[in-house]
Structure 1
Amino acid sequence: MSAPIRVLVCDDQVLIRTGFVTIIDAQPDLEVVGECADGRAAVDLARALRPDVVVMDVRMPVLDGIEATRRLAGAAVTDPVKVLVVTTFNLDEYVYAALRAGASGFLLKDAPATHLLQGIRTVAAGAALLDPDVTRQLVGRYAARIRPAGPSPADDALTPRELEVLRLIAEGLSNREIADRLVISQETVKTYVSRILAKLGLRDRVQAVVYAYRHGVVSA
């Protein structure tokens, strides 16, 4: 039997944090190894406990979730920790910044508990998590404001099929959904995704979504 996924929960709202801890600890394959109420404590605990996933709120005292995420999972971090941002819908700009800071994905706080649990497992497995119901609004609305002028670098770097896959990723579709849409196998989709990330110098699907909206591959 494999070891449980170790989770650190960080949220300044006691009721929400307690709820997350209770839901997560009830799963046989998940284990809460710590909890805290501010970003600085999250950074300190994550460095000390080395959890598999940090469930991170955005707005918190002392140090917000964006800066905490950057310190734990940013590009300059040599041994990053996976961060799953869980937030409310009206914090779209903050979540965009958190994804840019290195978060592996996001969920809304009003999502079903099953989404949170699956999200933790997905991020722990090394995949990125995007809430398909809000990807367009959450990322697209803000990315459109900072979109550079001129053609997208992806136009030259990617083949037409790879561009098509990137657009579907940006819509929040999973590999299976992309495979169904394009009538190809999931393995083929995985190959396309790997090529897209490599060609554009991106770390994961989250960065691919941000890139797609920022560079006009898809419209917000």
Structure 2
Amino acid sequence: MPKPIKIMLVEDNLEYRGVLEFALEMEEGMELCSSYGTAEIALRRLSQSAAIDQPDIVLLDLNLPGMSGLEALPQMLELAPGKQVLVLSNSDQEADVVAAISIGAAGYLLKSSTIDSILGGIRSIAAGGTLLDSAVAQYIVSQIKPKTSPSYENGTDEVLSDREIEVLRLLGDGMLKKEIGDRLQISYYTVDAHVRNIYRKMRVRNAAEAISKAYEIRLFSLE
């Protein structure tokens, strides 16, 4: 039987935290190992824990009393190397999304997400995936359009093809590779090849980083 996904929850809103605690405790295959209302206490716990006792995933609010989630995020990743952080926030501001993903968050969900979406996101990240709230992604992508000849500040002349930009947009909409293939009427393997090329050209590791970088370097420019 596979080991449960161990989760640390960092959330100061008592009512919302209680809802998440109940859902995590009831969910098969997940274990809520700790729950805190401030980043300072969570960081202290991580610094004092042996590797075997550390969580697999940290659910982190950004708007915390004292140290913010964004300030705590790099320290959490340093104290728990190889672990993942899933941001849960009320903020749909592009700056917060870009900052969290750039620092190293594996995913970003709004607190308006359903409990099922949050639990599904935890499983996706635990399996090595990434997650960007579809509402946030769609908002960001809706504000941007591709430049005629995009280039990157990475010492190469490689650019994304029109098809690769199209695939990147659909990734930003939260679509899976199979769904992208169905939409574009191409095979899963072709989509997978496009995605690998996008990551290589943009020098990123996953879809969340690709979307974040596209926004940062103005591969997509504001309308």
TM-score normalised by structure 1 residue count: 0.84
Write the distance in 2 (CA, Å) between the matches of 1:51 and 1:139: 33
Q: CA deviation at 1:90?
A: 4.9
More displaced stretch, 111-120 vs 169-178: 169-178
Q: After superposition, what is the alpha-carbon deviation per residue over 1:171-200, rounded to whole angstroms, capped at 9, x for unaligned?
A: 332222211112123333233222321232
| Structure 2 residue 43 is the aligned partner of structure 1 residue 66 | no
Q: After superposition, what is the alpha-carbon deviation per residue over 1:52-96, rounded to whole angstroms, capped at 9, x for unaligned?
A: 11100001123211121122237xx89242010011145543233
Is the 2:10–2:42 Cα contact (8 Å) retained in structure 1?
Answer: yes
Q: Call closer, same or farther: CA 1:44–1:192 in 2, change over 3 Å.
A: farther
- Matched residue, 2:61: 57
More displaced stretch, 25-34 vs 187-196: 187-196
| Structure 2 residue 163 is the aligned partner of structure 1 residue 152 | no
Write the distance in 2 (CA, Å) between the matches of 1:21 and 1:136: 29
More displaced stretch, 208-217 vs 155-164: 155-164
- Matched residue, 1:198: 200
Structure 1 residues 1-220: aligned runs within 5 Å: 1-47=1-47, 48=49, 49-73=53-77, 79-137=81-139, 151-153=150-152, 156-220=158-222
Write the distance in 2 (CA, Å) between the matches of 1:25 and 1:102: 27
TM-score normalised by structure 2 residue count: 0.83
Q: After superposition, what is the alpha-carbon deviation per residue over 1:1-50, rounded to whole angstroms, capped at 9, x for unaligned?
A: 11111111000111111211110111111110111111122233345232
More displaced stretch, 193-202 vs 90-99: 90-99
Segments of structure 2 that go 5 or more residues without pairing to the other structure are none
Question: SS where residue 220 of structure 2 aligns?
Answer: coil
Write the distance in 2 (CA, Å) between the matches of 1:10 and 1:126: 21
- Matched residue, 1:147: none
RMSD: 2.7
Write the distance in 2 (CA, Å) between the matches of 1:116 and 1:13: 17
Write the distance in 2 (CA, Å) between the matches of 1:78 and 1:104: 14
Aligned length in residues: 212
Rg comparison, structure with higher value:
2
Percent identical among aligned pairs is 32
Segments of structure 1 that go 5 or more residues without pairing to the other structure are 145-149
Write the distance in 1 (CA, Å) between the matches of 2:202 and 2:107: 19
Write the distance in 1 (CA, Å) between the matches of 2:73 and 2:142: 21
